[in-house]
Structure 1
Amino acid sequence: MTRMKNKPELLAPAGNMEKCKIALRYGADAVYLGGKMFGLRAFANNFSIEEIAEAAAYAHGLGKKVYVTVNIFAHNEDLARLPDYLLELQQAGVDALLISDLGVWNVARQTVPEMPLHVSTQANTSNWAAVQAWKALGAERVVLARELSLEEIREIGARTDVELEAFVHGAMCISYSGRCLLSSYLTGRDGNRGACAQACRWEYSLIEKNRSDEGFDIEEDERGTYVMNSKDLCLIDHIPDLIEAGICSLKIEGRMKSIHYVATVVSVYRKAIDAYWNDPKKYQVPDEWRQELEKVSHRPYTKGFAFGKPGSDGQVYTTSSYEQTHDFVGIVLAYDADAKRAYIEQRNNVKNGEVLELLMPDGELFPLTLEDMRNADGESIDCAPHAQQKFSIVSDRALMPDSLLRRKVIC
C-alpha cells in the first residue's frame, strides 16, 4: 500500500450554525450541511443562503471547507428554482455540492461549471465501474454506499483515481443507501425529498386480513418487535483499513444530533486520524475513546457491512430508544483570566458544588467542580435551573470557549 500524500479529511455534520462551528472547533476539516431546499434532512434546522455564506466564511478563516447537500431525488417542479439556488450557493462561497440525482447533476454542470461536485451516498455507488462513470461526468469525489465491505472498498480504491468518501460513524438506514418509501406511504412525508419520519424505528404488529381488529406482536428470536431498527455504525477500530483502502474523507453521520454528539464524536475521530497519521503501525484504540463514544446518545454499535452483510446482531429488537452514559449540561461561553471566572450557558439543571466532567475543543478531558456560582448579575446562586441560564464559576484553570460540561447518568 502506497501511503496517501495528504492526510485524510475528517468530515462532520452541521445541522445548524452552532453545530457547524462546534464541529470545526473540535477538529473537523470540513462540514456538510443543507440549505432550506433540495436537501435530505428537511427537519434539521438547515441554513439560509446568508447563513451558508457565514458558515463558509467561518470555515475558510480556519482553513477548512463547507459542502452543501443538493441531494433530493428531484421531481419536475423542483427544477424551476434549482439554477438560481446553485448560483446563490456559488456566490456564498461553498466548496462543493453533494448530488445524487443525474438531472440535478446535469443542471449543476451547466449552471455552475467550476463548482466541485461530489456524488452523494444516496446515489448508492457500490462498484468501481459506477465510480469511473461518475468521474467521466465530472465528479471530483464519490461518497460510497454504506453497504460496502472493506474488501470491496479496497478494490474500488485500486481501480479508480477519484476521491473516495465513506461513513465511519452514525445511524444506519434500513433501506439501501437511504432509498425508502416507508415514510411516504405511512405519513405522506417523502424521505427521498428530505422529509423522512423514521418510520422504520416504530413498533409494529402483524394484522391478519380477516381479523383487522387484532394485532399480534412481531417477534424475532423472541426478543421483541423492532424489526427494522438498525444499530449505529462505529468503525473507530478500522481507521487504518479505510485509509489504506483509499478513503480520503472519513464522514460522520448526524445533522439532526446535538452539539454534544457532534463535539464528542468529532473529537474522538480527530484523535484517531491524527494517531494513525503520526504512526500508522502503532495505531490502537484506547479505552478512553470507546468510553467517549458511549457518552453520547446512540444505539448499540455495529461494524455495519465492513466485514460482510450484517446478520441478526446488526439490529436492535427490544427498543428504539437511545442509550448514553452522560448528559450534556452546559457550554463555556468565555473565560476571564484576570477574574479567573468561566462564563457558562446552562443546558440542564446544575448545582453549586457539583462535580462535572469537562471536554475542551482541543480534546482535553478533566473533572470540574462548580464553585462560587453567580448569576448574570453577579449574585451568588445555589443552582442554575432555568433553560439556557447564564452563570459563572471560579476556575483557576483557563477553560476554552465552547468547552462542554457533562454529568454522568445515574441509573
Structure 2
Amino acid sequence: MKKPELMSPIRDWSSLEACKDYADAVYFGVDSLTMRASSGITLKELPKFVSKTHLYGLRAYLTLNSVVYNQDIAKAINIVKKAKEAKVDALIVWDPAVIEIAKKEKVPFFISTQANVSNYKSAEFYKKQGAKRVVLAREMTLKQIKEVKKKTNIEIETFVHGAMCMAISGRCILSAYLFGKSANCGFCAQPCRKEWFLSDEDGNKISVGKKYFMSAKDICMIEFIPQLIKAGIDSFKIEGRKRDAKYIEVTSRCYREAIDAYYDKTFSDQKVKKWKKELSSVYNRGFSTGFYFGTPGPEGISYNKADNISSTEKILAGYVVHYYPKAKAGSVRLDHMSIKIGDKIIVEGKYTFIEQEIESIEIENKSVKMGGKGTEVAVIFNSPVRKGDKVFLIRERKI
C-alpha cells in the first residue's frame, strides 16, 4: 500500500524550516486570491520559495482558491503564469475560471475543499476536467470517503488536523454580513469564535447556559491514522496557514511519526497518548473527530472557551543582535524577559526556526546562570540565527 502524503501548511518562510524534516509537501498562498490573506510569501518571492522547497525534497502546492471576481481575472492569469515559471507542483483551485486558466497554461491542479466535493460523481467530473486530485469536503464521513475512493480513479485528500468551520466547507457569509470582511476572499473575522446570545422577537435575551455555541473544536485524527490509511486516502492535510512555526513543527512531526509508526508496525496507544499531549501543547481549541464518524454533536463544540487552550505558551524574551558563525554563538538583547540555563527557547525569524534548551549563558565573557531583563547575553545556538530574529521562552500555560 502506497504511503500517504503528509501535507503541512505554510504561513511564511520560517514555517518551511519548521516542517522540512517531516512533511512530504507544503501548501501556501501568495499575497492575493487565497483563503488566508495574510500570507508571508509574496508573488515576487515565489520562485525562490519553490526552489527552496524542492531543495528540501518537498512538493510545493500553491492555493488560488478564493472567490474570483471580474476584476480579479487578470490577476489570476498572472499568478498561474508565475506559478508555472516557478515550477509549482500543483495549484489548489475551485473556480471554473481558474481551472480553465490552469488548463491553458498546462499547470497541474487539485480541486480545493471550497468546491465541496461530497460524492464520487463530483470527483469524476473534476477528473474529466483535468484535476489530478480532489480535496474532499470536511463534512464527509470515513464511510463516504471510502466509497469515493472505491468508485473513482482520482487522488483524494482530506484534512486530518486543525480548525473546523461551522459553515459548510468554510463557505461562510457571516463575516461579510457582520463585519464587511469576506471569509471567501481570505478575510474571515471569525464571528463564530465570538460570544453569542439568543433573543426573541421582543428583544428578550434567552439564556442557553453556554457562551460560544458556534465555535467548533479542532479536528484531531492522529488516533485513527491506521483507519485513514486503510481507507486509501492519498494525502493527509494539516490545517493552519495562519499558525506559527512551532505549531507547524509539532503537528508535522507528530503526524509524520504516526504515519511511519503504522508502516513500521509500532503504532500503539502509548504513542497516541504521547502525540496527543504534544499536539495539546500548541494552538488548539480542544479536539474532536469532526465528521469522520458521523455528524458531531455537542461534544464537537468548544462552548466555554473560543480561543487557544494549548498547555504551553510562547513569551517574547528578546532579539538576536549578532551571530558569530565560528563560535556558533549569538548575542541576545533581553528587552522583555530574563532567561536562565535550562530554559526552552524558540528562535524565529523570516528565514529562521530553531527550538532548543539553553545550556550556557555569558555576560561580558563571564559564565552566568541567568540573564536579566535589559541585559545583553551570549548564547550557544544549535543552528545559525540572524540579526533581528525573535527569541521566545516556552513555558507551561497558567490556567
Tell me the TM-score normalised to structure 2 length. Answer: 0.86
* Partner residue, 1:139: 131
Alpha-carbon offset, residue 284 of structure 1: 6.5
Q: Which amino acid aligns with 2:74?
A: A
Q: Which amino acid aligns with 2:49?
A: A
Query: Alignment partner for residue 296 of structure 1, among 265, 268, 282?
Result: 282
SS at match of 1:247: coil
* Partner residue, 1:363: none
CA–CA distance in 2 between the matches of 1:367 and 1:106?
A: 47
Alignment of structure 1 residues 200-349 onto 2, 5 Å: 200-211=192-203, 216=205, 218-219=207-208, 222=209, 224-279=210-265, 285-328=271-314, 339=327, 349=337
Residues 97, 118 of structure 1: 8 Å contact kept: yes
Alpha-carbon offset, residue 127 of structure 1: 1.0
* Partner residue, 2:352: none
* Partner residue, 1:352: 340
Residues 168, 233 of structure 1: 8 Å contact kept: yes
Q: Which amino acid aligns with 2:5?
A: E
Q: Which amino acid aligns with 1:16?
A: D
Residues 145, 177 of structure 1: 8 Å contact kept: yes
Which deviations, in whole Å up to 9, do the C-alpha atoms of 1:380-399 show, x marking residues without a partner?
6943647xx985435xxx83
Which deviations, in whole Å up to 9, do the C-alpha atoms of 1:127-173 show, x marking residues without a partner?
11111111111011111111111111111111111111110000000
SS at match of 2:45: helix
* Partner residue, 2:119: 127
SS at match of 1:49: coil
SS at match of 2:234: strand
* Partner residue, 2:58: 64
The answer as to 2:42 corresponding to 1:48 is yes
* Partner residue, 2:357: 368
SS at match of 1:85: helix
Residues 237, 285 of structure 1: 8 Å contact kept: no
CA–CA distance in 1 between the matches of 2:143 and 2:119?
A: 11
Alignment of structure 1 residues 165-204 onto 2, 5 Å: 165-204=157-196
Residues 222, 272 of structure 2: 8 Å contact kept: no
Residues 371, 377 of structure 2: 8 Å contact kept: no
SS at match of 1:39: coil
CA–CA distance in 2 between the matches of 1:340 and 1:85?
A: 40
SS at match of 2:257: helix
The answer as to 2:75 corresponding to 1:81 is yes
CA–CA distance in 1 between the matches of 2:330 and 2:280?
A: 27
The answer as to 2:30 corresponding to 1:35 is yes
Alpha-carbon offset, residue 51 of structure 1: 1.8
CA distance 1:337–1:256, shift in 2 (3 Å) = closer
The answer as to 2:86 corresponding to 1:117 is no
Instruction: Identify the range of structure 1 (162-171 vs 319-328) with the bigger mean alpha-carbon deviation.
Output: 319-328
Paired positions, count: 386
* Partner residue, 2:15: 19
Alpha-carbon offset, residue 17 of structure 1: 1.5
SS at match of 2:26: strand
Which deviations, in whole Å up to 9, do the C-alpha atoms of 1:70-93 show, x marking residues without a partner?
111222222132212211111122
CA–CA distance in 2 between the matches of 1:148 and 1:346?
A: 49
CA distance 1:160–1:384, shift in 2 (3 Å) = farther
Which deviations, in whole Å up to 9, do the C-alpha atoms of 1:231-283 show, x marking residues without a partner?
00000011111111111111000011111111111111111111112227768
CA–CA distance in 2 between the matches of 1:106 and 1:82?
A: 11
CA–CA distance in 1 between the matches of 2:361 and 2:249?
A: 27
Q: Which amino acid aligns with 1:98?
A: I
CA distance 1:367–1:77, shift in 2 (3 Å) = closer
Q: Which amino acid aligns with 1:11?
A: M
Residues 223, 272 of structure 2: 8 Å contact kept: no
Q: Which amino acid aligns with 2:134?
A: V
* Partner residue, 1:399: 382
CA distance 1:351–1:101, shift in 2 (3 Å) = same
* Partner residue, 1:408: 396
Alpha-carbon offset, residue 352 of structure 1: 2.1
CA–CA distance in 1 between the matches of 2:13 and 2:333?
A: 17
CA distance 1:355–1:177, shift in 2 (3 Å) = same
SS at match of 1:251: strand
Residues 356, 382 of structure 2: 8 Å contact kept: no
Residues 330, 345 of structure 1: 8 Å contact kept: no
Alpha-carbon offset, residue 187 of structure 1: 0.7
Q: Give the percent of matched residue pairs that are identical in Structure 1 and Structure 2.
A: 33
Residues 329, 346 of structure 1: 8 Å contact kept: no
Alpha-carbon offset, residue 36 of structure 1: 1.2
CA–CA distance in 1 between the matches of 2:376 and 2:293?
A: 48
SS at match of 2:124: helix
CA distance 1:284–1:218, shift in 2 (3 Å) = same
CA distance 1:91–1:11, shift in 2 (3 Å) = same
Alpha-carbon offset, residue 122 of structure 1: 0.7
CA distance 1:269–1:181, shift in 2 (3 Å) = same
Give me the CA root mean square deviation: 3.3
